[in-house]
Amino acid sequence: MADMKKYVGAAVLALALALGMSAPAKAEYPEKPVTFVLPNGAGGAADINLRIILKHLEKHVPTKLIVKNIKGGATATGTRAAYDAPKDGYTLLFFHQAFMGTAAQGILGREFRDMVPVARAGSIDIMYAAAKDAPFDNLPELIAFAKENPGAVKVGVFLRAHSHMVALKVMDALGVEFNMINIPGGGGPIRAALVGHQIDLGITSVSESQKYFESGDIKPLFVFRPVEVPGLEELPSAEESGYPSMADVGSVTNYFWAHKDVPEEIRTYWANKIEKVMADPELQEELGQRIIDLRFARDNELQKEVDAQYANTVAIVEKFDLGTGSNE
């Protein structure tokens, strides 16, 4: 009997050891490359900003970080791809407020709140510029001309994209009527249309406008919120001109997003890493040459910001009857 007990004990021990050897420890996340989907083409402002952030972020994570540009559908195609990717934390979304516009209009075909904001990583200040022969030189003159000539001011927008939402918010705030001219492709084509006198007014980023102002090809009209524009320190903001409601319109914000079904510990992992890299002096030096606002936000502060912006976008979509379906 004693021999039998020893035999059974030895067998149990051998089995336990075998099982232990056959079940390796769970690997730490991330154990393979992580993809960041950007619903814009390569080479634009958002793409360059993302690549700068990821270059410095790779110093703080043990894996390769990949940018995947997916264009189409007024940015909805790439956003859907991020929604529909596996919820394992290896595909995240990097995108600005245009995401809110496609969701609010029903173009996205997905529930906006199923994507959770993980981190705010600075924002690009935008402004309105005018063609050099436009019949106004500042915001008060624009308002006066637009009220005297309803629909005469031609504004370059990418219909149903972010520039369109901004133009509608400006039009609503000023109580005027613009003539929306569809110019797909973002800030570059809009600046070209300003230079070519195809439009009177267009959105542009502060940093990318300087050479056009210096050459006289286009003229600065106003910034949305008080920022220091090199060489244009006296340029008034919408707020300083008596329109504070437009202050929050004037930025294209770098947001990182993850689907709500991605485990919370993974979302927290990226919030921690992005917070760390946004405080990195090397990142601040490089990204700060392109954008003025380097503020970081996460958790409740970030969620409140996103909720307020989305509610404002929904209100504009409803007011101008742009909805094609419901994402609520």
Q: Which of 20-29, 123-132, 269-278, 313-322 has the lowest mean pLDDT?
A: 20-29
Report the topology of domain 34-124+252-319. D-Maltodextrin-Binding Protein; domain 2 (3.40.190)
**Distance between CA 184 and CA 157 in Å, rounded?**
7
Q: How confident is the model at residue 73 (pLDDT cuts 50, 70, 90)?
A: confident
b/e map of 105-126 (b: 16 or more CB within 10 Å)? Answer: bbbbebebeebbbbbbbbbbbb
In the chain, CATH 3.40.190.150 covers 34-124+252-319
**Distance between CA 185 and CA 188 in Å, rounded?**
7
Q: Looking at the domain covering 125-249, what would its CATH class be?
A: alpha beta
Give the pLDDT score at 17.
45
**Distance between CA 311 and CA 100 in Å, rounded?**
9
**Distance between CA 85 and CA 65 in Å, rounded?**
16
| Phi-psi group of 74: left, alpha or beta (phi > 0 → left; psi -120 to 50 → alpha; rest → beta) | left
Within 10 angstroms of residue 84's Cβ, the number of other Cβ atoms is: 11
**Distance between CA 286 and CA 284 in Å, rounded?**
6
Q: How confident is the model at residue 5 (pLDDT cuts 50, 70, 90)?
A: very low
Sign of CA dihedral 320, 325, 327, 328: positive
Tens digit of each residue's pLDDT (9 = 90 or more) over 260-302: 999 999 999 999 999 999 999 999 999 998 887 899 999 999 9
Q: How confident is the model at residue 16 (pLDDT cuts 50, 70, 90)?
A: very low
- 3-state SS of the chain: helix, strand, coil percent to 5? 45, 20, 35
Give the pLDDT score at 74.
81
Tens digit of each residue's pLDDT (9 = 90 or more) over 37-58: 999 989 888 999 999 999 999 9
In the chain, CATH 3.40.190.10 covers 125-249
Average pLDDT, the chain: 88
- Rg of the chain over Cα atoms, rounded to whole angstroms, equals 25
Q: Is the pLDDT of residue 201 over 90?
A: yes
Helix crossing, 76-84 with 98-105: angle to 10°? 90
List, in sequence order, the alpha helices (H) in 58-176. Answer: 76-84, 98-105, 139-148, 162-174
Name the DSSP class of 210. Answer: H
DSSP string, 159-192: TTSHHHHHHHHHHHHHT---EEEE-TTSHHHHHH
Which pTM value belongs to this model?
0.85
Q: How confident is the model at residue 304 (pLDDT cuts 50, 70, 90)?
A: very high
